[in-house]
Structure 1
Amino acid sequence: MATLNYSIHERIPSVSEHKFIWESVGWGSINTEVSKGSLKNSLYGVVVTINDEPVGMGRIVGDDFMYFYIQDVAILPSFQGLGIGKEILEYLLTYIKRRRLDSGIAFVGLFASEGNDAFYEKYGFKNHSPHMTGMFRVFEN
């Protein structure tokens, strides 16, 4: 098997990269005016490219001090299972480890796509129910 030659860029995805990957992984369509503001307020991001074309992304939102939320970790379906997601997550977690105070604590949250729980569990993420319940609410038109 040939070696996969990809590049990792420590930057927030562009609106067009985000839209392309978001829609390619089946998360539906996205309003780019909304995503533009969301991306602008991200703390950190990673984009993976092959031949200058985006194939994966991940980013962090939060207060950049105590609370961090891993968001939009996605790899194009044809490149899944090749270790790209692992690389993205390692970059994101390294950023968080650098940002938190040595004497402090960092709360890191995420929502895993269906069937991806085991991937994140390898990195210490776990379901804390029934003592804690992850909840969210969506406001839409």
Structure 2
Amino acid sequence: MTDALLLDRLPTAAEHRRIAEAVGWAEAFDWDTLPASLDRSLAGAVALQGGHAVGMGRLVGDGVKYFYVQDLAVLPEYQGAGIGTALVQRLLDHVASTAPSTAFVGLFATDGAIPLYRRHGFAQGDMTGMFRLVEPAVPAATIPSRLA
């Protein structure tokens, strides 16, 4: 890996947006609700180079049995230097240190990222990933960033 510094923290909304847009994910997020989404994440890891975020990843889920790797990305000019590998390992280390028993860790991956995840023991197995988008019944402005 390059001399990037890995930190156990979530990316800021600005860092997340900058990295997401750089990897072609500009249309994948509702930028107005992203801060609340980051707030409710279980954990995160950020790679810094020269004081600037160059990679990120986070965990979502119940924090006990089910964890999902979310938004793992590295700026294109830093890809191939081991930063993605280090971020995945950092997130898996968090799961291993917090889950009280064997945990399920899932993710969605682009075709290009499949080899990265396979190196960390992820397999497609006999399941098929699926998803669905659901429109909100309540406007986003009324959703608090933290549960009371």
So what's the TM-score if we normalise by structure 2? 0.85
Q: Once the 2 structures are TM-superposed, how far is the Cα of residue 140 of structure 1 from its aligned partner? A: 5.3
Structure-1 separation of matches of 2:69 and 2:50? 26
Q: What does residue range 56-71 of structure 1 map to in structure 2 within 5 Å?
A: 56-71=55-70
**Count of residues in Structure 1 that have an aligned counterpart in Structure 2:** 135
Q: What's the C-alpha RMSD, in Å, of the aligned pairs?
A: 1.6
Q: Once the 2 structures are TM-superposed, how far is the Cα of residue 27 of structure 1 from its aligned partner? A: 1.1
Q: Secondary structure at 1:12's aligned position in 2?
A: coil
- Which residue is equivalent to 1:114? 111
| 1:42 has 2:52 as partner | no
Q: Once the 2 structures are TM-superposed, how far is the Cα of residue 139 of structure 1 from its aligned partner? A: 3.0
Structure-2 separation of matches of 1:88 and 1:95? 11
1:57-87 Cα distance to aligned partner (Å, 9 max, x none): 0000011100000001100000000000111
So what's the TM-score if we normalise by structure 1? 0.89
- Which residue is equivalent to 1:14? 12
Amino acid in structure 2 at the alignment position of 1:86: T
| 1:23 has 2:21 as partner | yes
Structure-2 separation of matches of 1:28 and 1:138? 17
Structure-2 separation of matches of 1:116 and 1:7? 22
Amino acid in structure 2 at the alignment position of 1:42: S
Structure-2 separation of matches of 1:116 and 1:49? 21
1:84-129 Cα distance to aligned partner (Å, 9 max, x none): 011101100000001112xx22010001112221211111111123
Q: Secondary structure at 1:118's aligned position in 2?
A: helix
Q: What does residue range 68-79 of structure 1 map to in structure 2 within 5 Å?
A: 68-79=67-78
Residue ranges of structure 1 left out of the alignment (5+ in a row): none
The ranges of structure 1 where at least 4 consecutive aligned residues each deviate by more than 4 angstroms after the TM superposition are: none
Structure-2 separation of matches of 1:125 and 1:4? 24
Structure-1 separation of matches of 2:114 and 2:121? 11
Residue ranges of structure 2 left out of the alignment (5+ in a row): 137-148
Amino acid in structure 1 at the alignment position of 2:99: R
